Structure 1
Amino acid sequence: MEQTKTVRPGEELNTESLLSYLNEQMEDLPDEELVVRQFQAGHSNLTYLLKIGNWEAVLRRPPLGPVAARAHDMARESTVMATLAPHLSIIPEPLHFCSDQGIIGAPFFLMERKKGIVLDTEFPEDLEATPQLARTISEQMVNRLVDLHAINYEKTKLVELTKPEGFLERQVHGWIKRYHQAKTHDHKGLEELTTFLSDRIPTSQDATVIHYDYKLNNAMFSKDGQEMVGLFDWEMTTVGDPLCDVGVALSYWIEPNDPTLLKRGFGKPPVTVQEGFFSRRDWVELYAKKSGRHVDHIEYYLTFAYFKLAVIAQQIYYRYHKGQTNDTRFAQFDQTVAALIHHGRETATTELT
């Protein structure tokens, strides 16, 4: 599947202004036309492929319309990536940050383009989806998260950008507040779910770097699927409880027997429903073995991750409901919110199997 497509109507860049700016800031650019394509994945920040002759870069900017305070911080995301890239080769190297909103209408940054395949709802036609390949991809996902969590953040600039003490408590109460700020409908079970999350906060383990949006379609693999070569969307990266990262990864890791609304809440089911991919239990057990961390209370972290997904979907739906975006992909997200709240309640009372 093509990773990029024609830019969606209303999300175009000012190519004349951008090209002029690039020629001022970047050395030795070819004297050719700027070609812009848009990456298909993602429901929040907008990401574009820029090509000028044989030069390529990826541009990342906030979404259109009003943006919540401290959200979609391009300066912070590029700084985090620049800080961590020397420690993990799968992180794209940031190339340039621009705070001047007059260029394209918002701050943005450029980063290197990684090349490979991104797996989401299907495999490329030229790659046979065998159970062994599915297992290899599963193992790569676990192993690279273990690698990220092994980085000594105290020797990086993240010490200045993060506050790990009290992380989980702030997250739980903060995400509950975000939900109510974006509320559009009453959803059954919300009060019970938020009460559970507030009352059952576990004691956190030692803090690590966490990606906090770790999922299969944020990763890029070599064309044969044997190795992860890229990891994207570092907007939410911070230092905190590593099991929060595991919970997020598990919430995106859909199994074939999951409820239909969960499997299809964001569109077609991901490839993880196919034969050979880890179950969530397999995922957790390998993480525990490779990281040496205990995974007690993992059901709590998964429940919280489902609630976070519900909040993200609600924030996106709020923008659609208020006419801040006309993207029809978001029209049914209120149903996605309801499904995630329901599944979060179920997970809270069910041992991960």
Structure 2
Amino acid sequence: MTGVETGRAVPPSSAEEPRTELAPVRDGEDLDWQTLETYLRTHLEGLDGPFSVLQFPRGSANLTYRVSFGDRKLVVRRPPFGQIARGAHDMTREHRVLSRLHRAYDRAPRALLHCADENVVGAEFFVSEYREGVVVWDSVPDSMSGAPDAGRRIGLAVIDALADLHAVDPASCDLADLGRPDGYLERQVHGWSARWDAVAEYAPSAATRDLVTEVGRRLRADIPAGQRAGIVHNDYKVDNCQFAHGDPDRVKSVFDWDMATTGDVLVDLGTLLNYWPDRTVAPDSDAAFIVVPGMHGLELPSRAEVVERYAAGSELDLSRIDWYEAFGCWKTVVILQQLYARFVRGETTDARMGQRGELVEPLARRALGLLPG
């Protein structure tokens, strides 16, 4: 999750947000570069030339670096420092998905190597190919600025890339056993309830803690019947998509697969709606939603149009989509609380994490408003 703001009067992070795709490594997030270099040269072929490192600074959870050996560029990804929630930041899972999914879904970068030896960089990690391109954060990229309706086209491309993912047969890329589709939603709701319980003590107030707990109760009480199972990304949003320079009509790559599984694919649509900046919602309304600062000006399609576009290419029943959107919003609340808890415990020096707690209550209220009493 990156720098964020909400659709109502909740202050976004005031800490300075990185504005570039790549930057020098942030203070406190250096790894043992000499050991990593030696390990990679030993385990991957063709790594000639001098070694250098830059960081992808926009993320705030997993630590992601671009390492270069002369002209050869790779991506190294490891979990964040500090206490990790059980099942979170699963590098083994992400490597497994990305070492196979590219066969059926060319938007998935190919994973090349997994290392379970925590002595190399302090945690397990994996290495994938590096893809050149642009991620849409808070404005239409310069290379697309001359394209008519670029923002709308970007939005439609993001929706289409999700629909294409959900059309993939997991068995076609040896991922049929990635998850357990039967009982998937029940396990998800109970699992995220447990994650909330683990960090609830750091809630900004007792009222906020009770509010988030009530959202979880309502979700558990009215779980929809599962439909077709497929590959679920589990954190699908605009800024996890990459485009080729100058092309707003097709997503080139999709990133951040550490929570991917097989299950009810509408969970991804609910997640996307939760993050979608909707220009049809008044900024001072109670419908708080979380977006990267500046994305309101992209002129993306409305959330209603998101659902319509997805429905046009799907046979799934979308009548319960409010539940999925509420679930996506509630998961975001829990993630924000986890990030804030890491800051309170002194496990990160990233000042942005200290302000994540401010967003927990308004987003929980939005989730509650999407659910029947």
TM-score, with length taken from structure 2: 0.88
The corresponding residue for 1:36 is 53
Q: How many residues align?
A: 347
The corresponding residue for 2:21 is 3
Alpha-carbon distance between aligned partners in 2 of 1:99 and 1:323, rounded to the nearest angstrom: 26
AA aligned to 1:22 is: L
SS at match of 2:135: coil
The corresponding residue for 2:313 is 290
Provide, for residues 117-171 of structure 1, a one-character-per-residue CA deviation record: whole Å limited to 9, x for no partner.
1011223344317662112111111111111111111344323331110000111
The corresponding residue for 2:245 is 223
Which stretch shifts more, 185-194 or 37-46? Answer: 185-194
- Write out aligned runs for 1:36-185 (5 A): 36-128=53-145, 132-183=149-200, 184-185=202-203
Q: Percent identity?
A: 34
AA aligned to 2:323 is: Y
Give structure 1 stretches of 5+ with no counterpart.
none
Cα deviation, residue 349, structure 1: 5.2
Alpha-carbon distance between aligned partners in 1 of 2:172 and 2:104, rounded to the nearest angstrom: 11
AA aligned to 2:74 is: A
Alpha-carbon distance between aligned partners in 1 of 2:190 and 2:148, rounded to the nearest angstrom: 40
Alpha-carbon distance between aligned partners in 2 of 1:263 and 1:125, rounded to the nearest angstrom: 29
AA aligned to 2:58 is: A
Cα deviation, residue 28, structure 1: 2.6
AA aligned to 1:285 is: E
AA aligned to 2:31 is: L
Is the Cα contact below 8 Å between 2:49 and 2:71 reproduced in 1?
A: no
The corresponding residue for 2:36 is 18
Alpha-carbon distance between aligned partners in 2 of 1:233 and 1:318, rounded to the nearest angstrom: 22
Alpha-carbon distance between aligned partners in 2 of 1:209 and 1:265, rounded to the nearest angstrom: 24
Alpha-carbon distance between aligned partners in 2 of 1:230 and 1:326, rounded to the nearest angstrom: 30
Alpha-carbon distance between aligned partners in 1 of 2:300 and 2:292, rounded to the nearest angstrom: 19
More relative contact order, 1 or 2 (CA 8 Å, 6+ apart): 2
Is the Cα contact below 8 Å between 2:274 and 2:289 reproduced in 1?
A: no
AA aligned to 2:128 is: M
Alpha-carbon distance between aligned partners in 1 of 2:228 and 2:325, rounded to the nearest angstrom: 19
Query: Among residues 323, 337, 343, which one is paired with 1:300 in the alignment?
Result: 323
Cα deviation, residue 179, structure 1: 0.6
Alpha-carbon distance between aligned partners in 2 of 1:259 and 1:344, rounded to the nearest angstrom: 17
The corresponding residue for 2:333 is 310
Alpha-carbon distance between aligned partners in 1 of 2:152 and 2:290, rounded to the nearest angstrom: 24
- Structure 2 vs 1, CA of residues 194 and 129 (structure 1 numbering), >3 Å: closer, same or farther? farther
Give structure 2 stretches of 5+ with no counterpart.
1-18
Alpha-carbon distance between aligned partners in 2 of 1:347 and 1:87, rounded to the nearest angstrom: 35
The corresponding residue for 1:193 is 215
- Write out aligned runs for 1:256-295 (5 A): 256=279, 257=281, 259=283, 268-269=293-294, 271=295, 273-274=296-297, 276-295=299-318
Query: Among residues 243, 246, 260, which one is paired with 2:266 in the alignment?
Result: 243
SS at match of 1:5: coil
Cα deviation, residue 216, structure 1: 0.7
